[in-house]
Structure 1
Amino acid sequence: MSDLVVIVYPTEEKAEEVRKRLFALQQEYLIKLGDAVIATKSPEGEVKLHQTVNTTAAGAVSGSLWGLLIGVLFLNPLLGAALGAAGGAVGGALTDIGINDEFMKKLAESIQPGSAALFVLIEEMTTDKVLAQIKDYGGTVLQTSFDETKEQALRNALASAATTPIPPAPQG
């Protein structure tokens, strides 16, 4: 069973830092992610999703390969590749993997313009080690599917970043 965590950060850059850190932790086998999407809200109120997987491009590549193969069989590989790429792109654009896009857009409408919400679908996690790695980034928990104990541990870890004083820059 996967868990969903949504954390709001003051900027898209901060959310991207955390997402990159989570990907690095995945390489260390401390977390297994099903999806990680950043939603931003423009000053005009428009919500934009920043996906890690471009399903349209992936569909176009896959479709062009299948189209090329079918085209070779019917002696027109270029036409087959072109039709396959077009069909694959359309299919990829209509595919929604991971977290539901409409759910993310609706929830992201509640964030302040200029801020970013990081949506993370967690399949497995070594909770204490992951929290230790992301706590310094801060953030505000918007929603989780964690049990109360895990959710409170997450909230406490992120809150500790807000109360930890930043050391002054060295003079020199």
Structure 2
Amino acid sequence: MTNLIIISYPTPAQATAGAKRLAEIESIGDITVYDSVLIRKNESNEIHIIEEDTAAGSGTLAGMAIGGLIGALAGPVGLISGLLLGTLTGIAYETDKYSFSEDFAKKVAETLKPGDAAIVAEIAEDDPVYVDSYAKETGGTLIRTDADAAYQLFDDEQIITIDEEIAADRKRLKSAADAEKVRISKAIDVLKEKRRKHMEALKADAGDAERKSVESRAEFIQHRIERYRERIGRLEDELKRLRG
């Protein structure tokens, strides 16, 4: 199951240490971290990016629900720093496209207090016990929500297939010898990057389709306006003729 998790800590140092521990859990096959980011809320309730894409990869938030959540956390006046323009564009798009339950949004608001730092990650987990235990060990406060629901927007067979391949490799990783673990881990990294790029392509296609739809609608309205103007012109001419 793919979940979006937020683990908050009192300090950035604790969040950074927590991120390293999360990577260790992934390395033994208990979970898969598709993407993650470290954030901090300052005393003015502004969201800052501390470290982006801690799971490694493309270095953008473009292919995931994380962008939508970061945008939602920042709000219309929140400051998001440390990101490239393309990533900010992705966040703006995702904020509009992804929705999170009112209960989840309330929990996030109550959990992430000014001065706190947090790990925001999209993960695949077969059993929540691993991340639950990890959060408790590292002194973090954990909340999670189902990311699969957000990705219904991009319901795609290739993503499903990649996720299944990663899950199979993760299962083999648990019982593999050390040398084999290195090979399997590299294979998982390749699949994660493939997934990320495919998700970016899907999102780009969705954005193009929406823009074309808007342009088509705008063109239709413009044509109607022109026809009404022509009709008004004819009616005005007819009125002038009648008034003679």
The 3-state SS of whatever aligns with 1:100 is helix
Where in structure 1 are there 5+ consecutive unaligned residues? 59-91, 147-172
Cα separation, 2, equivalents of 1:133 and 1:112: 21
Q: Which amino acid aligns with 1:43?
A: E
- Cα displacement (A) at 1:17: 1.2
State the match for 2:70 in structure 1.
104
State the match for 1:167 in structure 2.
none
- When Rg is computed on C-alpha atoms for both structures, the one with the higher figure is 2
Q: Which amino acid aligns with 1:100?
A: I
- Cα displacement (A) at 1:128: 3.2
Cα separation, 1, equivalents of 2:66 and 2:134: 27
Q: Over residues 82-129 of structure 1, what are the superposed CA-to-partner deviations in whole Å (9 max), with x where a residue is unaligned?
A: xxxxxxxxxx87x71233324224236633221012212112345434
Q: Over residues 48-76 of structure 1, what are the superposed CA-to-partner deviations in whole Å (9 max), with x where a residue is unaligned?
A: 123126x9xx5xxxxxxxxxxxxxxxxxx
The reply on whether 1:144 has 2:145 as its aligned counterpart is yes
On the 8 A contact 1:39/1:105 being kept in 2, the answer is: no
Cα separation, 2, equivalents of 1:127 and 1:100: 19
On the 8 A contact 2:45/2:114 being kept in 1, the answer is: yes
- Cα displacement (A) at 1:3: 0.9
The 3-state SS of whatever aligns with 2:133 is helix
On the 8 A contact 1:39/1:118 being kept in 2, the answer is: yes
On the 8 A contact 1:2/1:124 being kept in 2, the answer is: yes
Q: Which amino acid aligns with 2:16?
A: E
On the 8 A contact 1:38/1:119 being kept in 2, the answer is: yes
The reply on whether 1:7 has 2:15 as its aligned counterpart is no
State the match for 1:120 in structure 2.
121
Change (3 A) 1:136 1:34: same
In terms of fraction of residues, the more strand-rich structure is 1
The 3-state SS of whatever aligns with 2:35 is strand
Change (3 A) 1:128 1:45: closer
Cα separation, 2, equivalents of 1:141 and 1:108: 19
Change (3 A) 1:113 1:128: closer
Q: Which amino acid aligns with 1:98?
A: M
Q: Which amino acid aligns with 2:73?
A: L
Structure-1-length-normalised TM-score: 0.51
On the 8 A contact 1:21/1:134 being kept in 2, the answer is: no
- Cα displacement (A) at 1:19: 1.1
- Cα displacement (A) at 1:32: 0.6
The alignment yields a C-alpha RMSD, in angstroms, of 3.2
Identity %: 28
* 1:1-172 map, 5 Å: 1-49=1-49, 50-52=51-53, 96-107=62-73, 110=109, 111-145=112-146
Cα separation, 2, equivalents of 1:138 and 1:108: 24
- Cα displacement (A) at 1:47: 0.8
The 3-state SS of whatever aligns with 1:96 is coil
Where in structure 2 are there 5+ consecutive unaligned residues? 76-108, 148-244
On the 8 A contact 1:6/1:144 being kept in 2, the answer is: no
- Cα displacement (A) at 1:130: 4.2
Q: Which amino acid aligns with 1:137?
A: T
- Cα displacement (A) at 1:40: 0.8
Q: Which amino acid aligns with 1:136?
A: E
Question: When the two structures are aligned, how many residues end up with a matched partner?
Answer: 111
Larger relative contact order (C-alpha < 8 A, sep ≥ 6)?
1
On the 8 A contact 2:12/2:117 being kept in 1, the answer is: yes
In terms of fraction of residues, the more helix-rich structure is 2
Q: Which amino acid aligns with 1:33?
A: V
The 3-state SS of whatever aligns with 2:23 is helix
